Each structure stands twice: as C-alpha cells, then as structure tokens.
Structure 1
Amino acid sequence: MIRVAGHFGELMQGCIGPSGPVALITLPCPVLGVVARHQPGVGLIIDDSDQGLLSLDHAQRFLKTLGLSLSGQIDIHAEMPVGGGAGASTAALVALARLAGYHGEAHALAAACIASEGASDPLMFASPEQHLWASRLGQTLAALPPLPRFEVIGGFYGPPQRTDAKDSTFPDIAPLLPDWVAAAQSSDLPALAALASQSAKLTLRMRRAHSDPTAAVAHQLGALGHVIAHTGSARGFIFRPGTVPAGAKAMLQDAGLHGVVQFLSGGAQ
C-alpha cells in the first residue's frame, strides 16, 4: 500500500511579476491523502471507486512517460473530494509511480505529472511548503525557510473546481514574497497568516467571488488568518496549536462548509 498526503489549498498563489509564471506555496495536509493498493495480475486494471480520479489510459500514458510499467489491479482512493484543491490528482499520480517502483528525482516525477495533466502540486517533495513552486513548469523558483508549527481547521465550500492549467487569472504576489521569507525566518506565525489571508483576498477579488464567506468566518473564529484553494473549494483557518475554539466545526458547517478537517502543519513533522 502507498499513501501520499495531499495539501489544503495554498498559503499563497499567484503570478511572479505581471507576466511571470504562476507559482504557489502549498499547505501540507497530513490527514487527507490518496491511498493506492496493488494486486498482481495480468494486464492493468484501475479501480478508483468511480471518483473520476485516474483512468486506465491516463495511468498507462503517465507510466510510459517515466519508463515504468505495472500489471495487475490498482485500487486507488482519494480521502478528499476531487476538485477540492487538496491535491488529489497529483497525489494519485505520485502514488501510482511509487507503486510501479519509481525512486528517481522529485523534479523528474513532477515533470511527468505536468506532461500528464498540465500542472502539478509539489507533493513529491519531503517538505513541499519549502518550495516556491511553479506549478505549470515543475520548477522550484526559490527554496523557502521552514514554517513554525500551526493548526488549521477547514472544509470545502461550493462545488468542486478542477485545475485548468491554462488559467492565468491570478494576482501578482511577487511583492509579498520578501515579507513571507522574513516572517518564516523569524517564525512569525501572525505575519505568515496575514500574508496568506492577503493572497486569498487578492485572488477572490480578482475572480469576483464577492459572496465567499472565508474572511468573515476567519474573523468570527478569531483566527490568525485564512487560506483558500486558489483553484478548488478548500477553505482553511490558521491558529496557534491548541487554540482552535470549541464550536469551530459547527460554525464552519453553519457557514456552508462541508468535510471539515483539523490538522497540524509546519514545524517538526
């Protein structure tokens, strides 16, 4: 069995400069992932429980790109909604590659994911949040400092929205990046949370998502800040560890969020 952890939206996402590449800083989420199991046999069968996660043709083309092959039945299941902005597509491909015995370089695996889908989350790396990740190029634009420990509670708002690799409707986040690096170096969680909130607000404003409740819910909860899936339905709220208020899950559900999860991220894993 292989399990690949997903993410929960992005701490930051946007263009690097007015005409630069789309890049992101992902939010690792250990409690949501993709699980894949292999039963040896003749031919290849993909069973994804009708999640629309991975077709047989898609799997075969992806493995061929890596110079790998696999036979038998692959049972694959996403613990998150497909199109939720939690990395189901990338995690499924990474799990498939590992089932087939891939032990190569992470950037090469990312390149295969991008050749397959046009975009990739950095889930093939041990510390994905430490990459300023060009998701359509498969490149690490900058190595980032580690993050302090923090806690997130969140859920999914609205319908699924699968990533369109041709979509470049993102704000310029280049001005925010020096502040992000400085805040991470000093383990300044409130500053990091505020920057994540600013990135979320910029994207929602650009997409004219005026009815999105995330910022209002963050204020009601007393969160340090909030995150969104910049393409997808994940919405999360950042707290110091152990300070998520009682009743937060009910408040999120009342605001229309479903599939509520709570997890720790950053710090020593």
Structure 2
Amino acid sequence: MLSKAGAAGLLRSLGVRPEGRFSLRLDMPARVALARAAGVTDPKTIVLACLGSEGAVDPLMLDDPEGLLWASRAGRVLARPPAPSRMEIVGRFFGPMRRTDPRDAAFPDIADHSDAWPAACGDLAGVAALASESARRTIRLRGPADDPTETLAAAKGALGFVIAHTGAAGGLIFAPGTVPETTPAALRASGFRHILRFRIRGGR
C-alpha cells in the first residue's frame, strides 16, 4: 500500500514538489502511475525512485518488460531474451498480503530456468511449463501449502500457472482467446480475490 507519506517521498525523489491532488483509479497501488501522473516519463529516473521507495522494482516503466530478464533488487536488465509467445493471464491474490522486503532472499533457485527460457520463448506451452515449475518451487519454499492454483489451472484447462516469488499474486496461463468464461467465478469460489484478466502481447 502506498501511503500519503510514501507518495510524497516518491515525488520528492523524482524531483517533483509533493503538492496538489492526484486521483488514481487502479487495480493495485502503482508508483509508476504516480510518477507519470506527475509528468515524469524517463524510465531510468522512475526506476531509481521506485527502487529507493520500496527496495525492489518491476520493469513496468519500460516499453518491453515482457522481453527482459530483470534484477528487481538492483533495478537493471540482466539480459534480453526473445519475448515469450502471446498469452492471456487470469490473475489473483491468495493468502495474506505481504509487503516486499528487499532483505528477503529466501527464494527458490531457478537458474536452470533462466538458461532454458530463451529456447522456450517461441512455444507458449514451454513457457507455461517453466512458469509452473517455478511456481511449485516457490510454494514448496514459501507457501502457503494449501494454495489451490495448480489444481484450478488443471480444472480450467490452463496451460500452466504462475506464482510471484514475493507477495500473494499469481494466476493461470492461457493461450489467447481460450479462457473459459467461468474462470473468474471459479477463482473467487476457491478463495482468491482481486481477480484481474489481462494479455501479454508477447513476440508472436
């Protein structure tokens, strides 16, 4: 959650006077949206401000975040593999909300996935398989053990599923245009909240 004090601090780090009123209607708190609403568009400036504000940052201020291997704790691009195939995600939150802790390093080792990622990018099934195995490792290490995402993915015919390494975010991976209309309701019935459906434009 981005507090009023946190928003003011972010604006100051962007070189913007924290005054006036901003009204943002979003599905989740967004430092990038606040920066752009304040007239700051330079990606490097936004990266540094978000990194200073939260200690970690996703590459959402860049034009091609889906085509990057990104170091969130350092705010830099590690590699530019091919963009993955187009896909549709039905996202959700499950379990308690957890703030990002930049000191937290208890993550599963997925170095083998980064090696395999470039070859998988042209095949959505291959991407979904890697994402699903990464999600399984995350659940085994960080929980919650009762996360029903994999079971629901199989029930809805998803190609795979994804779980954030921090926080409570996750989702089901579908080929574009194949999401059953009953999927959002099924997620809610399984205890998921903040259901969000979106597409990743991908490489092809």
Whether these two folds match at TM > 0.5 is yes
Find the aligned partners of 2:167 and 2:131 in 1 and give their Cα distance.
16
Query: Within 5 Å, which residues of 2 pair with 1:26-175?
Result: 52-55=1-4, 57-80=5-28, 88=29, 91=30, 93-104=31-42, 106-175=43-112
Q: Which deviates more from structure 2 when the two are superposed, residues 171-180 or residues 64-73?
A: 64-73
Give the CA deviation at 1:208.
Answer: 4.1
Find the aligned partners of 1:215 and 1:149 in 2 and give their Cα distance.
21
Q: Is the 8 A contact 2:86 2:176 kept in 1?
A: yes
Find the aligned partners of 2:11 and 2:143 in 1 and give their Cα distance.
39
Q: Which deviates more from structure 2 when the two are superposed, residues 187-196 or residues 138-147?
A: 138-147
- TM-score relative to the length of structure 2: 0.90
**CA RMSD of superposed structures (Å):** 2.0
SS at match of 1:111: helix
Structure 2 regions of 5+ residues with no counterpart? none
* Alignment partner, residue 176 of structure 2: 241
Q: After superposition, give the CA deviation of every residue in 1:47-72 in whole Å (9 maximum; x if it has no partner).
A: xxxxx4231x3233323323232531
Shift of the 99–249 alpha-carbon distance from structure 1 to 2, 3 Å rule, reads: closer
How many residue pairs end up in the alignment? 204
Q: After superposition, give the CA deviation of every residue in 1:224-267 in whole Å (9 maximum; x if it has no partner).
A: 10011222222211111121224222322221112323222123
Q: Is the 8 A contact 2:87 2:199 kept in 1?
A: yes
Q: After superposition, give the CA deviation of every residue in 1:20-45 in whole Å (9 maximum; x if it has no partner).
A: xxxxxxxxxxxxxxxxxxxxxxxxxx
Give the CA deviation at 1:156.
Answer: 1.9
Q: Is the 8 A contact 2:68 2:78 kept in 1?
A: yes
Amino acid at match of 1:250: A
Q: Which deviates more from structure 2 when the two are superposed, residues 167-176 or residues 207-216?
A: 207-216
* Alignment partner, residue 223 of structure 1: 158
Find the aligned partners of 2:11 and 2:185 in 1 and give their Cα distance.
43
Moved over 4 A (4+): none
| Structure holding more helix per residue | 2
Find the aligned partners of 1:103 and 1:252 in 2 and give their Cα distance.
36
Amino acid at match of 1:74: F
Find the aligned partners of 2:75 and 2:110 in 1 and give their Cα distance.
18
Find the aligned partners of 1:268 and 1:174 in 2 and give their Cα distance.
23
Give the CA deviation at 1:213.
Answer: 0.8
Structure 1 regions of 5+ residues with no counterpart? 1-51, 81-87
Shift of the 209–67 alpha-carbon distance from structure 1 to 2, 3 Å rule, reads: same
Find the aligned partners of 1:157 and 1:128 in 2 and give their Cα distance.
24
Percent identity of paired positions between Structure 1 and Structure 2: 46
Give the CA deviation at 1:144.
Answer: 2.4
Find the aligned partners of 1:58 and 1:146 in 2 and give their Cα distance.
33
Give the CA deviation at 1:202.
Answer: 0.7
Give the CA deviation at 1:140.
Answer: 0.8
- TM-score relative to the length of structure 1: 0.69
| Structure holding more strand per residue | 1
Amino acid at match of 1:58: G
For residue 192 of structure 1, the aligned residue among 119, 127, 130 is 127
Give the CA deviation at 1:169.
Answer: 0.8
Please say if 1:177 is aligned against 2:108.
no
Q: Is the 8 A contact 1:107 1:139 kept in 2?
A: no
